[in-house]
């Protein structure tokens, strides 16, 4: 995984945890509460690269500490091909498919400061 440093126009590698990056995961940048907190990169869901099983994993990269942490896994059935967006300090996951390819009509909200899903 690499990131663009826009001021100098350089691409820089971003160290990844020892686990493999999930396939078809969603990636968003989220600000802290009220948009004034620290910026974090979140990698949500996807498929395990070896087993192709859907995953509920959440990885959070903090740009201030330059460190990854595991977030609380997504609740409910694992989902893939869902919409994901960051708004107002929260991350929203909507729709997608369960592991039997059934369309999901539910949505979740994740608070990265509290590390909880609703």
Asked if 47 and 23 count as a contact pair (C-beta separation under 8 A), the reply is yes
Give SS3 for 36.
coil
The pTM (predicted TM-score) of the whole model is: 0.86
Identify the pLDDT of residue 35: 55
Asked if 58 and 46 count as a contact pair (C-beta separation under 8 A), the reply is no
Output the CATH code of domain 2-113.
2.120.10.80
Please tell me the distance from the alpha carbon of residue 29 to that of residue 42, in angstroms, as a whole number.
6
Identify the pLDDT of residue 6: 83
Classify burial at 48, counting beta carbons within 10 Å of its beta carbon; exposed 0-12, middle 13-18, buried 19 or more: middle
Domain ranges of the chain: 2-113
Per-residue pLDDT of the chain (118 residues; tens, 9 = 90+): 888 888 889 998 888 887 788 999 999 999 876 556 788 999 999 999 999 999 999 999 998 888 999 999 999 888 999 999 999 899 999 999 988 989 999 999 999 999 999 9
């Amino acid at each position: 995984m690499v990131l663009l440093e826009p001021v100098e126009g350089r691409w820089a590698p971003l160290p990844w945890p020892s686990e493999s990056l999930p396939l078809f995961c969603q990636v968003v940048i989220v600000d802290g509460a009220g948009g004034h907190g620290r910026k974090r990169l979140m990698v949500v869901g996807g498929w395990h690269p070896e087993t192709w099983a859907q995953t509920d994993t959440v990885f959070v990269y903090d740009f201030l500490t330059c460190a990854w942490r595991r977030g609380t896994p997504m609740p409910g059935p694992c989902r893939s091909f869902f919409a994901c967006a960051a708004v107002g300090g929260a991350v929203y996951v909507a729709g997608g498919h369960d592991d039997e390819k059934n369309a999901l009509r539910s949505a979740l909200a994740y608070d990265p400061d509290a590390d909880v899903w609703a």
